[in-house]
Chains A and B, each alone.
Chain A
Amino acid sequence: MNIEWYIVLSSLLFATGVLGILLRRSPMVILLCLELMLNAGNLALVAFSRMVGNEQGQVFAVIVMVIAACEVVVGLGLIVAIFRRRLPLNVDDLRELRG
């Protein structure tokens, strides 16, 4: 399988993640879709690293994983805080930050 396949698969997964973000209302699921997108990016990075022949892309992917972990932590903390305050866990209802 040449590298093209991996990249195309990665973009398909990315598009799926985008679709999920636009379609779902629950912040939990939106965060999960965010993970989808991040992982798609990781896949692309590793594929390119294989194509180029050094491991720098993989190091990048590892760092991305770390970032994803941090973001998940903060996001879940937000969700717990929202839940604790008995606000609806619904991205359409949480819209007081507007201009």
Chain B
Amino acid sequence: MSGTAWAWLVLLFPLLGSIAIALGYRTLPQKAAGMIGTAAIGLSFACGVAALLSLLGEDAEARHHASSLWDYASVAGLDIKLGIFLDPLSVFMVLVVTGVSTLIHLYSYGYMQSDEGYHRFFSFLNFFVFSMLLLVLAGNFVLLIVGWAFVGFASYALISFWYRRETATRAGMKAFVINVVGDIGLVLAAFLIFRELGSFDYGEVFEKAPQVFSVNEWSVTAICLLLLVGAFAKSAQLPLHTWLPDAMEGPTPVSSLIHAATMVTAGVYLIARTHVLFELAPTAADISAFVGLATLLVAATMALVMTDLKRAIAYSTMSQIGYMIMGVSIGAYSAGMFHLMTHAFFKALLFMAAGSIIAAMANDQNIDRMSGFGKAMRFTSITFVCGALALAAFPGTSGFFSKDEILAFAEARGGMYLIFTVLGYVGALMTAVYSFRLVFRVLPGKPCTEAQELIDTGHVAHEAPKNPATGEPEDTDVGFPGPEHHIAEQSAPMRVAMGVLAFGAIFAGLVQIPGVDDVVTKFLDPVWEGSPLAAIEPSLGEDYLGLGIGGVIALLGIGIAYVLYVARPELPRRVEQRLRPLHTLFVNKWYFDEAIDFLVVRPALAIGRFANRVFERFVVDGLVTGTEETVRGAGGIVSRVQNGFVRSYALLLIAGFAGLGLYFLLSSS
């Protein structure tokens, strides 16, 4: 079978899974729904592997195929097909997405077991994977936008999964609205592309672009800036990032899949895919790189002070995606994609471990109350530490190689781009500090009540169900989390998933050791063929220097965290008091939410109120009621003629007669 046939199958299985589970939500037993969901993605992964193998069987230059099922619209110069595009980049994304998704489905099989909305969860999760695959496999901008929008919807559906929780539904709406802002940017970019280049198809667009556009022409810069709006909204970069922390209202597998490994990487994929356009608009690419850098640093500062475990990891995601965006914007395409892959592993793993710990805490997410889980939950703690090591770029882990590859590229490009290297390392230091802050706060030390209960009885703590953010009491019926909490130690599927990811987090970096092998780069190279930026390669010396600096920084960061949180626990409070204004700034998330509320939400509400009070009342109602009253008034006046007085009828008659006579007299004179 040809590669594209496998690619169509990749798309088919999650869709079928989603529909099957949705249709059978009453009849299918819970286990069956979970198995169908996981199997669907597993089959999808297998087909992805088959597509990969078929691609590898060809020459490097010939590894791009387009295939379309159906002409969607072909009229008046518009030619939109339902078509996919198979090349190393899309296969890479397919494998990452389906691979991590399979493991997360496996994890959810155990984690969501006592939730009443189990079937709905798996159906939506499958639908999400389908949409994400549609996004990465799309062969033209229209299908890309379709996948983009579906992914936004799936994200909304899954964030508000516990729909009776008001904080969750509000978070879902916030995510959706910000995503729509990004969608607008993307759609406008597509319009401009069509206007300038006359096609939506990837092949045609990327071929024609260098011929039609000159460097830094306003149109291609506009297109790239609009694409960036879309990418930033989806990947939670400044300033469209405020939805990501709130999105942690969703169940942990959702955070792990969508908001760590897959959806938020869509922006990175977009920039990598349209790199031809970005190379023609270096200004836009530079803007993108600086935004990525800013996000990287700001998010890291926020993660340093977060007390909610999942939100801290969410900010870490934002920061790491800042690295990826920065990477693909300055030209380190393969490095950025490699970091995407490793990040998917260790971030998903971190969320899974966090989920296990939160379950043990009876859904409480506050790290101030957590301690001593190292003793209570061995497996979870080991995997948590694996993920944290990879995140901190401890020497030898996957994160180590991938992050430093980006920074080495920036250094090799030289000139202004050295800023990225330097500040990137500052960010790496903060990353190491905050990731091990989490480790040292939660794992070692005297076990907290819940951990103690786990050690003593082996049972997970039970408390009255309540909203972790606001403390409102809830129940455990559908729309709220289920009564039981499942931890990894007690659930085999969860352990399998976390184990595989831990292995990947630690060892996946070995495929891209500089000077030894570069599997990913070699595989992805044909995609960036002809790009001057992709041809820049740091020398071996620069590579090892970068790795060395990175390793030192990682160990330094871990050391600082150890000092702050284990050796001298009173130190953090003193630091916080010394730097109180900074601390407040960080804790309040740099006041972004307040700024957006002031700049956007309030004017919109004011416009709505104005429209209702003034426009609606005076103009619209005025027109409608005014017309009604005019008609009624006129009718009233006219009906006064028929007043019943015979003589007034006669008068009118005579008056008419006289008038007519006058007319004839005048007209004949």
Which chain A residues have a beta carbon within 8 Å of chain B's beta carbons?
18, 21-22, 30, 91-92, 94-99
CA distance A47 to B439 in the complex (A): 127
In whole Å, how far is B637's beta carbon from the nearest beta carbon of chain A? 13
In whole Å, how far is A57's beta carbon from the nearest beta carbon of chain B? 22
Task: Flag the segment in B165-173, B326-334, B640-648 that touches A.
Answer: B640-648
In whole Å, how far is B656's beta carbon from the nearest beta carbon of chain A? 12
* Cross-chain contact A98 with B644 (CB below 8 angstroms): yes
In whole Å, how far is B634's beta carbon from the nearest beta carbon of chain A? 15
A-B contact pairs, 12 of them (CB 8 A): A18-B654, A21-B650, A22-B650, A91-B645, A91-B646, A91-B647, A95-B646, A96-B644, A97-B644, A98-B642, A98-B643, A98-B644
Q: Which chain A positions have C-beta within 8 A of B646?
A: 30, 91, 94-95
Contact of B647 among A92, A96, A98, A99 (CB under 8 A): A92
In whole Å, how far is B645's beta carbon from the nearest beta carbon of chain A? 6
In whole Å, how far is B202's beta carbon from the nearest beta carbon of chain A? 74
CA distance A18 to B655 in the complex (A): 11
CA distance A99 to B635 in the complex (A): 12
CA distance A97 to B642 in the complex (A): 9
Q: Which chain A positions have C-beta within 8 A of B74?
A: none
Q: Which chain A positions have C-beta within 8 A of B604?
A: none
Contact of B643 among A18, A21, A95 (CB under 8 A): A95
Residue ID in chain B nearest A98 by CB atoms: B644
* Cross-chain contact A21 with B647 (CB below 8 angstroms): yes
Interface centre among A94, A97, A99, by most B CB within 10 Å?
A: A99
Q: For the complex, is B211 an interface residue (Cβ under 8 Å from A)?
A: no
Residue ID in chain A nearest B639 by CB atoms: A99
Q: For the complex, is B651 an interface residue (Cβ under 8 Å from A)?
A: yes
In whole Å, how far is B655's beta carbon from the nearest beta carbon of chain A? 10
Q: Which chain B positions have C-beta within 8 A of A91?
A: 645-647
User: Can you list the 7 inter-chain pairs with the closest CB atoms, starting with the nearest?
Assistant: A95-B644, A99-B642, A98-B644, A91-B646, A98-B642, A21-B650, A18-B654
* Cross-chain contact B651 with A22 (CB below 8 angstroms): yes
In whole Å, how far is B426's beta carbon from the nearest beta carbon of chain A? 90
Residue ID in chain B nearest A18 by CB atoms: B654
Q: Mark B641-669, 1 if CB is under 8 A from A, else 0.
A: 01111110011001000000000000000
In whole Å, how far is A94's beta carbon from the nearest beta carbon of chain B? 8
**Chain A at the B interface: mostly helix, strand, loop or mixed?**
loop
CA distance A39 to B650 in the complex (A): 19
Q: Which chain A positions have C-beta within 8 A of B654?
A: 18, 22
In whole Å, how far is A56's beta carbon from the nearest beta carbon of chain B? 25
CA distance A98 to B639 in the complex (A): 9
* Cross-chain contact A95 with B639 (CB below 8 angstroms): no
In whole Å, how far is B653's beta carbon from the nearest beta carbon of chain A? 9
CA distance A21 to B657 in the complex (A): 15
* Cross-chain contact A22 with B644 (CB below 8 angstroms): no
In whole Å, how far is B658's beta carbon from the nearest beta carbon of chain A? 9
CA distance A46 to B170 in the complex (A): 97
* Cross-chain contact A92 with B645 (CB below 8 angstroms): yes
In whole Å, how far is B657's beta carbon from the nearest beta carbon of chain A? 9
In whole Å, how far is B661's beta carbon from the nearest beta carbon of chain A? 11
Q: Which chain B positions have C-beta within 8 A of A94?
A: 646
CA distance A97 to B644 in the complex (A): 6
In whole Å, how far is A89's beta carbon from the nearest beta carbon of chain B? 13
Residue ID in chain B nearest A95 by CB atoms: B644
CA distance A96 to B642 in the complex (A): 11
* Cross-chain contact A22 with B643 (CB below 8 angstroms): no
Q: Which chain B positions have C-beta within 8 A of A96?
A: 644
CA distance A72 to B643 in the complex (A): 26
CA distance A97 to B646 in the complex (A): 10
CA distance A91 to B649 in the complex (A): 12
Q: Which chain A positions have C-beta within 8 A of B645?
A: 91-92, 95
In whole Å, how far is A55's beta carbon from the nearest beta carbon of chain B? 29
Q: Which chain A positions have C-beta within 8 A of B647?
A: 21-22, 91-92
Q: Which chain B positions have C-beta within 8 A of A18?
A: 654
Q: Which chain B positions have C-beta within 8 A of A97?
A: 644
CA distance A98 to B642 in the complex (A): 6
Not counting A22-B654, A91-B646, A95-B644, a sample of 18 additional A-B residue pairs whose C-beta atoms are within 8 angstroms of each other reads A21-B647, A22-B647, A22-B650, A22-B651, A91-B645, A91-B647, A92-B645, A92-B647, A95-B643, A95-B645, A95-B646, A96-B644, A97-B644, A98-B642, A98-B643, A98-B644, A99-B639, A99-B642
In whole Å, how far is B632's beta carbon from the nearest beta carbon of chain A? 16
Q: Which chain A positions have C-beta within 8 A of B639?
A: 99
Residue ID in chain B nearest A21 by CB atoms: B650
CA distance A97 to B649 in the complex (A): 12
Residue ID in chain B nearest A23 by CB atoms: B647
CA distance A96 to B651 in the complex (A): 18
Q: Which chain A positions have C-beta within 8 A of B651?
A: 22
Interface centre among B639, B645, B646, B654, by most A CB within 10 Å?
A: B646
Residue ID in chain B nearest A99 by CB atoms: B642
In whole Å, how far is A15's beta carbon from the nearest beta carbon of chain B? 10
CA distance A99 to B649 in the complex (A): 12
In whole Å, how far is A3's beta carbon from the nearest beta carbon of chain B? 20
CA distance A52 to B165 in the complex (A): 103
CA distance A21 to B651 in the complex (A): 9
CA distance A83 to B633 in the complex (A): 39
Q: Which chain A positions have C-beta within 8 A of B642?
A: 98-99
In whole Å, how far is B105's beta carbon from the nearest beta carbon of chain A? 78
CA distance A95 to B644 in the complex (A): 4
CA distance A16 to B646 in the complex (A): 18
Q: Which chain B positions have C-beta within 8 A of A98?
A: 642-644
CA distance A98 to B648 in the complex (A): 12
In whole Å, how far is B654's beta carbon from the nearest beta carbon of chain A? 6
CA distance A21 to B646 in the complex (A): 10
In whole Å, how far is A1's beta carbon from the nearest beta carbon of chain B? 25
Residue ID in chain B nearest A94 by CB atoms: B646
Q: Which chain B positions have C-beta within 8 A of A21?
A: 647, 650
In whole Å, how far is B647's beta carbon from the nearest beta carbon of chain A? 6
CA distance A96 to B646 in the complex (A): 11
CA distance A98 to B651 in the complex (A): 16
Q: Which chain B positions have C-beta within 8 A of A22?
A: 647, 650-651, 654
In whole Å, how far is A65's beta carbon from the nearest beta carbon of chain B? 23
Q: Which chain B positions have C-beta within 8 A of A30?
A: 646
In whole Å, how far is B652's beta carbon from the nearest beta carbon of chain A? 11
CA distance A92 to B639 in the complex (A): 18
In whole Å, how far is A84's beta carbon from the nearest beta carbon of chain B? 20
CA distance A8 to B220 in the complex (A): 93
Q: Which chain A positions have C-beta within 8 A of B643?
A: 95, 98
In whole Å, how far is B563's beta carbon from the nearest beta carbon of chain A? 99
CA distance A96 to B645 in the complex (A): 9
Q: Which chain B positions have C-beta within 8 A of A95?
A: 643-646
Residue ID in chain A nearest B644 by CB atoms: A95
Residue ID in chain A nearest B658 by CB atoms: A18
In whole Å, how far is A98's beta carbon from the nearest beta carbon of chain B? 3
In whole Å, how far is B642's beta carbon from the nearest beta carbon of chain A? 3
Residue ID in chain A nearest B641 by CB atoms: A99
